């Protein structure tokens, strides 16, 4: 996640990331939480590209749970 955040070019003073999904859902997580808890953005599930019903093209995944009713199909973040 840290590499992805750096590539996205977040502002130096940023402390929160807001994820938006194509279905209108959004959620926010602190930068510290994302980095400290190994949160990932997945594009495959069991080595298969995510299908539409599982969040194609991307799904936000936490170590302890998967966000299934949330930001599936993440088109962007801020």
* pLDDT for position 48: 92
- Do the Cβ atoms of 78 and 27 come closer than 8 Å? no
Residue-range definition of the domain harbouring residue 11:
2-77
Q: Summarize pLDDT for 3-48 with one digit per residue, the tens.
A: 888 888 878 788 998 888 877 888 888 988 888 888 888 899 889 9
* Domain total of the chain: 1
Q: State the pLDDT confidence band at 78, using cuts at 50, 70 and 90.
A: low
Query: Could you tell me the pTM of the whole model?
Result: 0.66
In the numeric block, the tokens 């973040």 are attached to: 77
């Amino acid at each position: 996640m840290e590499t992805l955040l750096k590539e996205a070019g977040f502002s130096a003073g940023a402390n929160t990331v807001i994820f938006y999904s194509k279905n209108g859902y959004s959620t926010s997580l602190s930068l510290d939480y994302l980095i400290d808890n190994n949160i990932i953005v997945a594009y495959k599930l069991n080595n298969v590209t995510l299908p539409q019903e599982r969040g194609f093209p991307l799904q936000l995944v936490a170590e302890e749970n998967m966000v299934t009713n949330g930001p599936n199909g993440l088109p962007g973040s801020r």
